[in-house]
Amino acid sequence: MKHKISIITVNYNNLEGLKKTIESVKSQTYQSFEYIVIDGCSNDGSSEFLEKNKELFDYWISEPDNGVYQAMNKGLKKATGEYLLFLNSGDHFISNKVLEENYRELIDASIIYFNLQVVENEKTFIKEYPSTLSFSYFVSDTLPHPATFIKKEVFSNTHLYREDFKIVSDWKFFMDAICKYNVTYKHINKPLSTFYIGGMSSNPENRIFKQNEKNIVLKEEYTAYIQDLDDVIAFRNTLNNLKSSRIIKILVKLGFLNKF
């Protein structure tokens, strides 16, 4: 039977996170999905755990890879579902009923993204995402992989995740899909999953490395966009400075200028 959803979990040496993710997936009240686990030949007991519990998965493998994006590509190549969701080790669904409550939303668009519950140390908050996406949005942010369903057919047009990057290939995929290939998208304004800050892309020590990878993409593929964006930002800053100008405020108050 062809499933509507394929859930893909990528893991490397994160046994406790892997157990948490698998428990969340298998505890869903809606179980009409395919579950795939790709392990990078972990040496912390993850491989043995997967072998012992292999009946829980539609497909699993533990073998060396060149990083998270090669592992994600392996998973999506094996997936047979219409929509893919990457819920990597350590991430989990926000409740056991969230798929049952929302699987009917998986229509009409190729990328369907929810909000994300974020846990950072002792702080927990819901990150909300905009309903309208743009190039300027992706320059500074991205979509949440643990809370985004992607039609598998999208990858036929946008290509797979770039495996020579270590941190930003998911960001590049989303930006290319929306800004370059005009993929249809839809925002569901409620949380789907929980993400714990502390992974490679969210580690403060990797910020410079992350920005360098982003700059490579922007300079190689979006040079004209960047020039336009620089002009827009400069204009916006000038406008904001004018709005805060004491003289301008006086002229508006006296009726010599309309409020803007």
Torsion angle, CA of 21/22/23/26, rounded to 10 degrees?
A: 130
* Interhelix angle 207-221/223-243, nearest 10 degrees: 110
The pLDDT of residue 2 is: 63
The pLDDT of residue 204 is: 60
Cβ atoms of 128 and 118 within 8 Å: the answer is no
Q: Name the DSSP letter for residue 179.
A: I
Same domain, 203 and 233: no
How far apart (Å, rounded) are the C-alpha atoms in residues 63 and 171? Answer: 25
Domain coverage including residue 250 = 223-260
Same domain, 113 and 213: yes
The model's pTM? 0.86
Same domain, 203 and 228: no
Same domain, 76 and 181: yes
The pLDDT of residue 170 is: 96
Same domain, 159 and 259: no
Token pair listed for 219 = 């300079």
How far apart (Å, rounded) are the C-alpha atoms in residues 93 and 25? Answer: 7
What's the CATH number where 89 sits?
A: 3.90.550.10
Percent of the chain with pLDDT over 90: 72
Same domain, 25 and 51: yes
